[in-house]
Structure 1
């Protein structure tokens, strides 16, 4: 039986995809730089062949979006190697707005490579993950009791990573219906950061606030935390887009892919670790 390969198999979307595939009885191989079934590094082509062995369908993602020629080339190179190794279906985790982005965007070449691969493909273009509040970028602010971002009063339709995983699994496993599709994935309605934080505060039963800050202050904060300057600039600019009303609009990707509406932010909060295990705010 041929295997499903999940890159970033220990990450926000990858571990959810792997869990669903295994629960359905599919053989799964998770691949990551640490903690997966096999060691895999996009920067080390020598690690690719063992991950691709006997793989039928693969979930691909780029973990590092810093500008650089190698990041334009490595996913397209992996796509070519995957097809040569016998992979017949590719599902790419891309991002919102890549289609309109300049050619220097690392995921632009990846999308093109997948679409021109000659095998079945699906591209996922999600907006901001709701899990940024509970698992990644914004969790420290939530734990500290104040989330400070340069997003102003802007609004965005946060997408639950559970929905991304459901769409990815459908695209990886369904006999028909997803080949050649690009799904823009968002939540059901836009939400401001103050509203989002208020819902989290209500669920956890503790005070949490949102503070709009200047982009320069946020850049300093990210770089002080060890974020590479180029990545810090990317995230800051994306949050400025939200502030200026240039952010993501609601799309029907989840409904087109799954024939159901996306989960609401309230559903996300109720099902997240924020509700199950509220934490005491950190003290200065």
Structure 2
């Protein structure tokens, strides 16, 4: 939102606390949120790769076009079949469209359950030794803003990655080195992963869908890097090490952080 404000673009935030409120699970909130809008950034919650996302995105896109929206910018997952169906829905909507494809977002390591795992010293994921081009959320935001505010992005797929491939063991190792703590990566089965999450209070349905997504995309299909950030923004993508250095300095991964914030 702040980036769009810098472009002197009026912005309406689509959230449950927005004005008017917007909820992906309540279609009655969609039309009021679309009134007077000519471009929309479509980021399905909880994820464009989750079951049901494509149908919701198709319904939203159709309503958006009927409401006068001329350009849709979709946030999609690299390599996910459901996200590909979301892309198709937007392409067939009749609006100008841009797709912003991303893989595993770097900031996931300092949010929600994954931050808890890092603080606990063991990051257990059903990802094996696959390599991932971890993508910084700041790069995603900058590319999305460019697509929304500049000409030349209609009909394009912006496949965003970080600058290098790392296994999850590599990534966790960099976090451990930056924090000076013993933190290790533990590859687990999908069943073990779901059990771990539900034991932490994560709803079983969400845990299962997340495990299914990881099983789908962490098979090597995303083991490549692109030059999209540089071609769109004229600068290299942010490296994982930069994120790790800045986040470690905040103390977010300190073992005591979970206790101090109620986690």
TM-score bracket for the superposition, by shorter chain length: 0.7 to 0.9
Equivalent residue for 1:113? 89
Contact 2:134 2:240 in 1 (8 A): yes
Equivalent residue for 1:275? 249
Counterpart among 165, 171, 195 of residue 220 in structure 1: 195
Please give the TM-score of this superposition, normalised by the length of structure 2: 0.86
Alignment of 1:1-284 (within 5 A): 18-34=1-17, 36-65=18-47, 66-68=50-52, 71-98=53-80, 101=81, 105=82, 107-174=83-150, 176-240=151-215, 244-272=219-247, 274-281=248-255
Distance 2:236 2:25 in 1: 37
Contact 1:189 1:250 in 2 (8 A): yes
Contact 1:241 1:247 in 2 (8 A): no
User: Could you say if the C-alpha distance between residues 95 and 24 of structure 1 is closer, same or farther in structure 2, counting changes exceeding 3 Å?
Assistant: same
Q: What CA RMSD, in Å, does the superposition of the two structures yield over aligned residues?
A: 2.4
Which ranges in structure 2 are unaligned for 5 or more consecutive residues? none
Which ranges in structure 1 are unaligned for 5 or more consecutive residues? 1-17
SS at match of 2:9: coil
User: Could you say if the C-alpha distance between residues 72 and 226 of structure 1 is closer, same or farther in structure 2, counting changes exceeding 3 Å?
Assistant: farther
Please give the TM-score of this superposition, normalised by the length of structure 1: 0.80
Contact 2:115 2:253 in 1 (8 A): no
The number of aligned residues is 256
